Amino acid sequence: MEIPKITGDHFQTEVTGAGRPVLLEFYQEGCQACEAQLPILEQAAEEACDVKFCRVDAGEEPELADRYGVTEFPAMLILNGEKIFRKVTGRQTLETVLEYLEM
């Protein structure tokens, strides 16, 4: 499942106003760990249908990365509305990602 890329213009609607939990990944172009994380997140998105998955290119949207204190990549935040339930950095396994989603 393809994970949509979110910009600051659509952040409120797509993430904080989603009405359900969101796994938000911050990545940077050229980051090998980020590239390796993407297929894992795509697989997790297929298995965790009750969670919305989105990505933010921190190079294009530095204000969003700053807003959430993201300085390492990949970084994943699990949010519901404005509330952050979990924040992790570095490449994660599918099993770990799915475990994080069990809120």
Provide the residue ranges of all domains of the chain, joining segments of one domain with +.
Answer: 11-100
Looking at domain 11-100, its CATH architecture is 3-Layer(aba) Sandwich (3.40)
User: Is 0.85 surpassed by the pTM of this model?
Assistant: yes
Backbone angles phi, psi at 100, to 5 degrees: -60, -30
Question: For residues 67 and 50, what is the distance between their CA atoms, to the nearest angstrom?
Answer: 25
Q: Could you report the per-residue pLDDT of 54-91, keeping only the tens digit for each?
A: 999 999 999 999 999 999 999 999 999 999 999 999 99
Question: For residues 14 and 18, what is the distance between their CA atoms, to the nearest angstrom?
Answer: 5
CB 45 within 8 A of CB 96: no
Q: Could you report the per-residue pLDDT of 40-55, keeping only the tens digit for each?
A: 999 999 999 999 999 9
Percentage of residues of the chain with pLDDT beyond 90: 97
Query: Tokens 């204000």 sit at which residue?
Result: 63
